[in-house]
Amino acid sequence: MQNTTRFNLFYTIAAILGIILVHEAWMGYQSIKPLAYSEFQTLIREGKVKEVIITRDEIRGELKYPDPPNRKYFRTTRVDNGLAEELQKL
């Protein structure tokens, strides 16, 4: 191989590794933080939830002001309203 071919190959490999590294860092930041249902209720009361999607089994959403160590998105297991009220009385 000529020197220019090795030189270009090195930069190509370095660029690919750099893209993979940035992608992994971004995906780690964007991953979903699991929350306890009670913590979710506290965030709702404090007005810290930007958006909520409710499905049959879970609640997913986005926080208004995520802390850097925490995640921007969250999910929690959906709890029946009657059960949630009962648990709050305890």
Q: Kindly report the backbone phi and psi dihedral angles of residue 75, in degrees, each rounded to the nearest multiple of 5, phi listed first.
A: -150, 150
Q: What's the order of all strands across the beta sheet hosting 32-34?
A: 32-34, 73-77, 58-63, 49-54
| Beta-strand relationship, 32-34 and 49-54 | unpaired
Please report the pLDDT score of residue 9 as a whole number. Answer: 83
pLDDT in tens, 46-64: 999 999 998 888 998 988 8
Compute the distance between CA of residue 26 and CA of residue 11 in angstroms, rounded to an integer: 22
pLDDT in tens, 65-75: 877 655 788 88
